[in-house]
Structures are given as C-alpha cells and as structure tokens.
C-alpha cells in the first residue's frame, strides 16, 4: 500500500472519485434515456478514467533498476522507427505491443488517443546490435 501523501496514493484517490462520478452519470442517464448530453458526458469521463488508470499503472509499475546504455536505447528507437515506417502491419503491431505495453487506444472526436508508457527494456535483438 502506498504511503499517505504519495503521488500514487493521490492518483488512486483521484481514480476512485472518477469512478464515483461515472456511477453518478450512469444513474442520471436512467430517467433521461433519449438525452445526448449524459451520454456525451459519460464518454468524456470514461476517457478521463482510462487516462487516470493509465497514469496510475505507469507510476506503480516496477521500473528496472538499471536502464540500458543510451546507445542501446538509441539503436532500439531507430530500429523501432524503421519497423513502424516499413508498412508491415503485422510487425508494426508486434513492435507497438512490446514497446508500449500496456497501452489503450481511446476514440476521440477527431481520431484516437493512445495511452500508455514507453517500455525501454530493450529486446535482446536490439541491444546486441542486430
């Protein structure tokens, strides 16, 4: 459990408040099934909850004690960019799942928002200078 006053504890409390808000909005929608406003508000607040949960996961996930050498990270990022621009959708999806795991794609008014964190635990094929 996180200590009182820690960033994780504050974020956990924010997530709880956001979950309560979603419950309240859902309850408000029951008497107004045809109204668009509660549904729009619910979608906005669900996206906010997903963002908060992503932030909480990032700060509570154990980080490696030793990061790879900056040259290995640079090589990894360059090779990641090469795969992403190759047009190979299968390889791109695999690389994104490894590099950004866990991540969520949330629909927005104009496009999508990707929530997650970059995983710098370089796979062996990138560190070895492949």
pLDDT at 109: 82
Does residue 130 carry a pLDDT above 60? no
Neighbours of 58 (CB within 10 A): 15
Q: How far apart are CA 14 and CA 74, in angstroms?
A: 35
pLDDT, position 63: 62
Q: What is the mean pLDDT of residues 3-26?
A: 82
Per-residue pLDDT averaged across 39-45, rounded? 84
pLDDT at 128 over 50: no
Which residues fall within 8 angstroms of residue 56, CB to CB, at 6 or more apart? 8, 11, 12, 15
Q: What is the mean pLDDT of the chain?
A: 75
CA distances, 28 to each of 18, 40, 104 (Å): 15, 12, 27
pLDDT digits (tens, 9 = 90+) for 17-28: 988 888 888 787
Q: What are the Cα distances from residue 80, in Å, to 28, 73, 96, 100? A: 46, 10, 9, 11
Domain boundaries, the chain: 1-61, 65-130
Mean pLDDT, range 54-75, rounded to an integer: 76
Q: What is the pLDDT of residue 26?
A: 79
> Is residue 126's pLDDT more than 60?
no
């Amino acid at each position: 459990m996180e200590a009182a006053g820690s960033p994780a504890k504050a974020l956990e409390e924010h997530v709880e408040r956001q979950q309560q808000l979603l419950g309240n909005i859902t309850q408000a929608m029951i008497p107004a099934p045809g109204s668009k406003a509660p549904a729009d508000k619910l979608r906005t607040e669900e996206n906010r909850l997903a963002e908060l949960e992503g932030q909480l996961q990032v700060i509570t996930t154990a980080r490696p004690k030793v990061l790879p050498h900056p040259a290995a990270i640079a090589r990894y990022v360059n090779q990641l960019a090469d795969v992403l621009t190759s047009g190979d959708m299968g390889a791109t999806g695999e690389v994104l799942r490894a590099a950004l795991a866990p991540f969520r794609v949330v629909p927005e008014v104009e496009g999508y928002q990707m929530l997650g964190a970059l995983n710098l635990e370089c796979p062996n094929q990138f560190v070895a200078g492949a």
